[in-house]
Amino acid sequence: MSENQKKIWITGASSGIGRAVAEKFASEGWKVAVSARRKEILDEMAQEKNISSYPLDVTEKNQIEKVFQKILEEFEDLDICLFSSGTYDPKNEKRIDTDKIKNVIKVNFFGVIDCVKTVEDYFKSKKSGHISIVSSIASYRGLPNSSGYGPSKAALTNFSESIYFDFKKFNVRVSVISPGFIKTPLTDKNDFSMPFLKSPIYAADKIYEGLTKNKSFEIHFPKSLTLILKFLRIIPYRIYLFLVDKLVKR
């Protein structure tokens, strides 16, 4: 391993955006640690140059700590941690199912913040590095049939904003990623038309550029969709609810 080789740890890396980002960074010469629950897929990915497999269930805090220590032992250093673990099942969000909502929040929110907590002391002691969290455009405002996923991502975005200030004091960058509709096994479950649907490779290119070449707090794409939603976020509730209601009834 080259002493100058950059290193990144990516969770949720067995499919979708996480996998595409891992393969993108590896192709750019980064040393990539990939984590997810599906060990067989990670081991398959690890056959490629620059990728190493570290299976992990982010809902198990002890596992997170053990995996992180193992990565540090073998990588010796990390430049970026990208936490993109997540779950989503639209069929279970058409009604309020408290058990399902709790599970979504357990994975999407608490799983991620446990990862951030695990690496906190490392980056603050190092006084450099970058923690990036994958949220969603669903975090911008409440959407239909998103009683668990939307709130979990809204909490992630708010959490990222909150910790930004503390980590900045230690010269550690915090960023949040807000993808639009990306074709993944999760979005394949949607039974509605997804505007501006993009490929995981498109998402990986945008994330790579945002993490390595830009300094923005939020990496959001595609702009043709996210800018519309950002506008909807600032308009009064009365207008927002009216517009969304009309769109849903179409």
Instruction: Sketch the domain layout of the chain as residue ranges.
Output: 7-249
Q: 């040393």: which residue's tokens? A: 31
Give yes or no for residue 1 having a pLDDT over 60.
no
78-129 tens-digit pLDDT: 999 999 998 877 666 678 889 999 999 999 999 999 999 999 999 999 999 9
Q: Report the amino acid identity of residue 65.
A: E
Q: What is the pLDDT of residue 192?
A: 66
Cα angle: 223, vertex 228, 231; to 5 degrees: 125
The closest alpha carbon to 211, from 80, 71, 28, belongs to 80
Give me the percent of the chain exceeding a pLDDT of 90: 79
For residue 106, give the DSSP letter: I
Name the one residue in this structure whose structure tokens are 């009064």: 236
Q: Which of the four pLDDT bands, split at 50, 70 and 90, describes residue 166?
A: very high
**Residue 250 pLDDT exceeds 70:** no
Cα distances from 190 to residues 18, 52, 90, 197, in angstroms, run: 19, 32, 6, 12
pLDDT at 2: 58
Pick the CATH number of 7-249 from 3.90.25.10, 3.50.50.60, 3.40.50.720, 1.10.3720.10: 3.40.50.720
> In terms of Cα–Cα distance, which of 225, 116, 115, 110 is closest to 179?
225
Closest CA to 179 of 206, 156, 155: 206
What global pTM score does this model have?
Answer: 0.92
What was the pLDDT predicted at 188? 64
Q: For 187-239, how does the pLDDT look when each residue is reduced to its tens digit (9 = 90+)?
A: 767 666 777 788 999 999 999 999 999 999 999 999 999 999 999 999 999 99
